[in-house]
Structure 1
Amino acid sequence: MSSSVCLPEEDLSCPVCCDIFRDPVLLPCSHSFCKTCLQCYWNTSAPRQCPVCRRRASKRTPPSNLALKNLCEALQQSRIQSSVEGNRVLCSLHGERLRFFCLVDKQPVCVVCQASKIHKNHDCVPTEKAAQDCKDELNVALKTLQHTLDSLIRLKGTSEEMLESIKNQSLETERQIKDLFVELHQFLYEEEAARLAALKEEEEEKIGLMKSMVTKAAAGMLYLKETITVITQEITDADDMALLQNCKATIERAQCTGQGPERISGALIDVAKHLCNLKYRVWKKMILHVEYSPVTLDPNTAHPCLFLSHELTSLQYTSQPHRLPDNPERFHMSAEVLGMTGLCSGSHCWVVDTGCNNDWILGVACTSVTRNAEVQARPENGFWTMCLRDREYRAMTSPPTAMTVTEKLKRVRVQLDWDKGQVSFFDPADDDTPLYSFSHKFTEKVFPYFYTQSKHPLRILPERMCVTVQQSGTGHPCTVPD
């Protein structure tokens, strides 16, 4: 203890808590107590009585004992300054070696602290064991923090790749949209030019006809004017004998007036022919140049080794994988891809042109199939498929079922009836000969499924479209002229 603090420790201890005074107050009876200890005593025992001599205090708020407070602070400071002896840390309150660790207050304590009122009922363990337990706990926490940090680093890298991929996807999709609309615009421009040319042709034809009529009418008018002039002169200028001598010729000329004016039907432009249902007729003609695909591939699910066409209707394997983001929807272990639209009701079908491809799997897969591990495309894993592998056609049951196919399949039709729980395969080249059918009660969405490890493409064939116009008010179809 510092030489400036010469009182014994007992004189600097609170009679209530037996520790060094903290914020001491002085009662009229000259006894001092910690302010907190005195208030607790007054609240639970005898209000405004001295805990030592039982004398009643006159004030509810006793004054602070500044002198005693300074002595206690000096004692605490001296203990702090001398608390380190070599490598041993001593208790700042009692100067004893810290041999225990309080599990309740999470702090090291000495033997005196352990026996005091503050820690008397607390669980305490030796500092060596507490330190080892603390290290073990911190090591576990460090591993968790490091694992979280590694996950965040990977997430950051993946997010940056996805950010770049999103920009590239947007630019490429924008380019393809513009290209498609350029084709549509070109068709409309050509169709507009053809319609205007037809109008111009009819205009020239009708104008030529009218000009011919005008020319004929003008010639007839000139002849009639000359005839009228001659007859008028005969009547007015010639004497009676001369008039009678020329009477026969004059009457014949007067009667020779030629054909009268003809009224021509259809001389005007046939406006109705050019404008009748013009939008519909152009649209109907456009359908002949537009293909409809029953299935569109989803590039966000495609394995990096698959190359998809710009129309997203064909796929083929490539040995040079694309650099694609590691998104959860993507197949990472096998060359697979799903259709864009999930199916959860009704009947659907699509035809796949397999061509020269000798390594493929076709069918449907449910939403929850595993995409980051290689699994068999079988019903227990959420797949209902058939395949061609090693020149053998098999239905992917468990175990696979060999299929009897006499000739190589150039096309395969996949039909899904979700409500009835059936996935069937047919040979469209042989009058839709059934190949195999699965039965399963579906409980979630399924998607068209494709797999290949061949450089020869699998192509989803487009479907023919037909236009039906319903008669207003009846709901019955009617014929609309082109």
Structure 2
Amino acid sequence: MAGFGPAAAVPVWLTEDDLGCIICHGLLNCPATLPCGHSFCRACLDGLWGASGAGRRWSCPTCRQGAAQQPRLGKNTLLQDLADKYSRAVRELEAGPGRAPSPEPVPGPGPAPGSPSHRAQVVAQKNSTDVGLELAELVEQLVHIVRRLQSQSPLSEPGPADEPLPSKTSEGEMRDILNALEEIQKKLRENIVWKEALEEQTQELLESPSSSPCPLPDQSHPAPRRSSQFAQWAINPTFDLGSLSCSLEVSNDGQTVTVSHFPQPYPWSRQRFATCQVLCSQALSSGKKYWEVDTRHCSHWAVGVASREMSRDQILGRTRDSWCVEWKGNSQLSAWHMKKETVLGTDRPGVVGIWLDLEVEKLAFYTVADQEKLLFECSVSASGPLHPAFWLYGLHPGNLLIIKQVKA
């Protein structure tokens, strides 16, 4: 290219979401690009299309654009090269300065990347908080598997040497397993939340100039948080199912959004995001509004506001009508608007408060602990109402964001 020497390198910010497959939630492997422009692992497409019912074969898992006959799949060598370079860069970052990166993994008889057994091996290399998160995700995956098994009918033709168990016994055992897994999942989540709160308060004690002793929080009686200064303007928005990406799931109360283990069969709509993003249903057009988001169970996220007209193939904070703060998962917090990044620091907020004052066209983000502390503020201007907006990227199944109840 003109203007670049043979050894020039242009720094480009990429995440796993840019080079990920929404079917297996891993980096692209032997990527194939469909006529609509979306790319997936070739083996994932073959497996998905082979399992699809009549009438849904050869449709894109992202935009649902179909074809009269199966497209010819060729390897996208450019995407494969980018994925390989991204993997090498990640290993170099993990190795640290002055240390040789770990060698590229060699395919063998071991567990496949992304499988439960592979994830269990990775757990051993992480700190205790990450271990808890990984275990919680594994349990959640097991819950999905048990529920799928519950919905399947028993085999109608057992072998002559096999004596089938009575259906009632099987169903009862399945219920017991599911209840036990859900109880384990609940306790893991509670333990993670308490441990993170304990670590935060311990760090505050170490950094505090005061020498007066302060007791650590009791697990059964966590330290109460003071009421929010924004409580009188607090709202409790709920996620909009119409804009929800097919990579995400929403809880029954509409206030928890989770990266799904499997692509969801939502009906195609022009309002649905192509990437792991979602808006809230509430349109904010006047007055003062405040809400809080618990980000502690998500490794890569962005929260902010966007107009309803935000392009569904664009990313939060990269458009004229969207604003956000974003945690990249690599110890960097940034604010984004119109593709402009403002680096805010390296501290990760566990709970983010969003203050929108439409009377003066002001947007502010706070880190919330025992009180609110300002992270970033900016001006907003939009031709129509704004909606709370969220991005869960990195393609880590089980990652979730929660809209919290604000304490009055």
TM-score normalized by the length of structure 1: 0.34
TM-score normalized by the length of structure 2: 0.40
Give the number of the structure with larger relative contact order, counting CA–CA contacts within 8 Å between residues 6 or more apart.
2
Bigger Rg, which one: 1
